[in-house]
Chain A
Amino acid sequence: MSATMTMTASKTAPGGAPQSSAQALRQNLGRSARKLLRNPLSVAGLVVILALLLVAAFAPWIATHDPLAQDLANTLKAPSAAHWFGTDEYGRDIFSRLVYGSRITLYIISLVTVIVGPVGLTIGVVSGYFGGWIDTVFMRITDIFVSFPGLVLALAFVAALGPGLDHAVIAIALTAWPPIARLARAETLSLRKADFIVAVQLQGASPLRILTRHVAPMCLSSVVVRLTMNMAGIILTAAGLGFLGLGAQPPVPEWGAMISAGRRYMLECWWLVAMPGMAIMMVSLAFNLFGDGMRDVLDPRSE
């Protein structure tokens, strides 16, 4: 053990000792934020994500045209001052479609996250903490889901439920929870015998209380990191489903569906495919970079 490690560890926090619980929380958040901002790549990711949020929120003001309005006199026009990213085969403005498409992307991401996060966390934490047959049953179910390629499984579900954006979300969520569950389980296994968990057991805490107040918060950070990293995969799967015509249905401006529709004119009109492709790449890259930064901040081992 290095002597300096213990030296810095025993030193009190910069900025003085907290005087209230709110202040303690503020200091903690401030420290995390500073750590995140020190990494230029994760800041870049954060900027793109914030931009995505702003664009989605103010889409009607940012878009130059109606994303659904057809203008058959102006089909397949190259990028110009009037149409920044060009127009598609029905003369719709691609820039405006991309701007509105950000809403759909965000809708998919948030819905999948809301489903996958809690489901994965709950299953992982419960099976890790209780072990025994509960663990066996949950983990075999997880194995089954993992052993299918995600897109194929999603395809099967969409085929059964019928195409549509909401069905695509459900299908993606079904394929996205197992890695989260495994992660939460592994984390829980390492915590289960920790002294601070034994201490609350000894205080008479119920398993529900131990899981929600003591175990889950410790798993939360790695789950959040994993979810952020998964966002990129979710966006790509959604685009893939859209491309195959099983996600959002025309004329909804979903990015994957836009690529799919533009495919026919791809060789002559590169902007039909390149623009939505760039958008997908930018956003998924941003989530990856941001996830990396989050891991550095939230990973309990890095403290």
Chain B
Amino acid sequence: MAMISVDKLNLTFGAGSDANQVLHDVCFEVGAGEAFGLVGESGSGKTTVLRCLAGQYNHWLGTLAIDGETLGRRLDYARCRKVQMVFQDPYGSLHPRHTVETALAEPLAIHGIGDRSARIDAILTKVGLPTSFRWRYPHQLSGGQRQRVAIARALILEPRILLLDEPTSALDVSVQAEILNLLADLRVRDGLTYLLVTHDLGVVAHLCDRVAVMQQGRIVDLLDTAGIVGCNPEHPYTRMLVEASRHYSREMAADGAARPAVADLAA
């Protein structure tokens, strides 16, 4: 059975003549234990899908279901126990005045879970941080360490699904490799389901099994990552993304210039 199922998801901001539809009939399913990628450029709506699942918007139309249960408009305790999120910016996602311990104890306190100290030690070890880090403030951590704390905070409620919003795009290449390895290990060990939003096809190809390509609020291509690795995808937009992530070439840029770029249309 599908762990995440998104059916005909539509979302519009504003009303009347200002209405701006950002999602158009988005449909996909993610199986239990699968890692699914959503790629696209800025404004393609990939993060918006994630935020709908995370309960940040509540005026969407369509059907969202997690673990077979249809989602309501409001965040409830049950959904919090099942779905957690890791954010893009490790500098903005941790409360600057809370120590690691406070940040990790908060979800346990909200859900009335006891044995907090032992759980915090366990989760820190799990994400590869020494337990002595629990008394540090975010400004005493590097970007990679912060992202590990953010992952620990997401996992401490033992969710089944992790929503990953560009979890490594703010990190250096070498740190990105560490975090990607950690995410891959955690998925295997805990049987987690991942929904990863990114603009980096390399990251998707590395971490995910399947990928949906989004453009202007629509899913334009859906393929196995095996279809990206090594061979050329069929859809022209996907092909352009793949080519661009491989290397820069004059011909490709000329190709892109011949077509009206999305950005120019927006201007």
Instruction: Report if A and B touch in the complex (beta carbons < 8 A).
Output: yes
A285 to B37, CA, bound (A): 60
Q: Residue of B at shortest CB range from A24?
A: B135
In-complex Cβ contact of B139 among A17, A195, A204, A303 (8 A): A303
Q: For chain B residues 172-186, which have a beta carbon within 8 Å of chain A?
A: none
Interface string of A19-43 (1 = CB under 8 A from B): 1110110001000000000000000
Q: Report if B33 contacts A (CB, 8 A).
A: no
Q: Which of A6-14, A84-92, A133-141, A227-235 contacts B (4 or more CB under 8 A)?
A: A6-14
Whether the pair B93, A217 counts as a contact (CB closer than 8 A) is no
In the complex, chain A residues whose CB is within 8 Å of the CB of B157? 203
In the complex, chain A residues whose CB is within 8 Å of the CB of B89? 195
Q: Residue of B at shortest CB range from A10?
A: B142
In-complex Cβ contact of B95 among A12, A19, A196, A204 (8 A): A196
> Whole-angstrom distance from the CB of B8 to the nearest CB of chain A?
24
Q: Report if A201 contacts B (CB, 8 A).
A: yes
Whether the pair A23, B135 counts as a contact (CB closer than 8 A) is yes
Whether the pair B92, A21 counts as a contact (CB closer than 8 A) is no
- Using A12-B140, A13-B140, A23-B135 as known contacts, say yes or no to A199 and B75 having CB atoms under 8 A apart: no
In-complex Cβ contact of A21 among B75, B77, B95, B135 (8 A): B135
A188 to B252, CA, bound (A): 46
Interface size on B, residues (CB 8 A): 37
In the complex, chain B residues whose CB is within 8 Å of the CB of A218? 95-97
Interface string of B22-55 (1 = CB under 8 A from A): 0000000000000000000000000000000011
- Using A10-B143, A21-B101 as known contacts, say yes or no to A213 and B77 having CB atoms under 8 A apart: no
- Using A202-B55, A202-B84 as known contacts, say yes or no to A196 and B92 having CB atoms under 8 A apart: yes
Interface string of A190-204 (1 = CB under 8 A from B): 000011101111111
Q: Which of B12-20, B106-114, B231-239 contacts A (4 or more CB under 8 A)?
A: B106-114
A286 to B56, CA, bound (A): 46
Q: For chain B residues 53-91, which have a beta carbon within 8 Å of chain A?
A: 54-56, 75-77, 80, 83-85, 87-89
Interface size on A, residues (CB 8 A): 30
> Whole-angstrom distance from the CB of B90 to the nearest CB of chain A?
9
A23 to B153, CA, bound (A): 22
Q: Report if A214 contacts B (CB, 8 A).
A: yes
A195 to B90, CA, bound (A): 9
Whether the pair B99, A21 counts as a contact (CB closer than 8 A) is yes
Interface string of B163-202 (1 = CB under 8 A from A): 0000000000000000000000000000000000000000
In-complex Cβ contact of B94 among A9, A20, A21, A196 (8 A): A196
- Using A17-B140, A20-B135 as known contacts, say yes or no to A202 and B110 having CB atoms under 8 A apart: no
Q: Residue of A at shortest CB range from B111?
A: A204
Most buried by A among B56, B95, B101, B132: B95
A194 to B99, CA, bound (A): 17
A199 to B142, CA, bound (A): 20
A141 to B63, CA, bound (A): 42
In the complex, chain B residues whose CB is within 8 Å of the CB of A214? 95
> Whole-angstrom distance from the CB of A199 to the nearest CB of chain B?
6
Q: For chain A residues 257-285, which have a beta carbon within 8 Å of chain B?
A: none
In the complex, chain B residues whose CB is within 8 Å of the CB of A251? none
In-complex Cβ contact of A204 among B80, B133, B153 (8 A): B80
A13 to B135, CA, bound (A): 12
Whether the pair A19, B135 counts as a contact (CB closer than 8 A) is yes
A201 to B133, CA, bound (A): 24
Whether the pair A18, B136 counts as a contact (CB closer than 8 A) is yes
Point out residues on B near A: beta carbons under 8 Å.
54-56, 75-77, 80, 83-85, 87-89, 92-97, 99, 101, 106-107, 110-111, 132-133, 135-137, 139-140, 142-143, 150, 153, 157
Q: List 8 A-B contacts (CB under 8 A).
A: A12-B140, A13-B140, A195-B92, A199-B93, A202-B75, A202-B80, A204-B110, A218-B97
Q: Which 5 A-B pairs have the closest CB atoms?
A: A204-B80, A195-B93, A203-B107, A24-B135, A18-B135
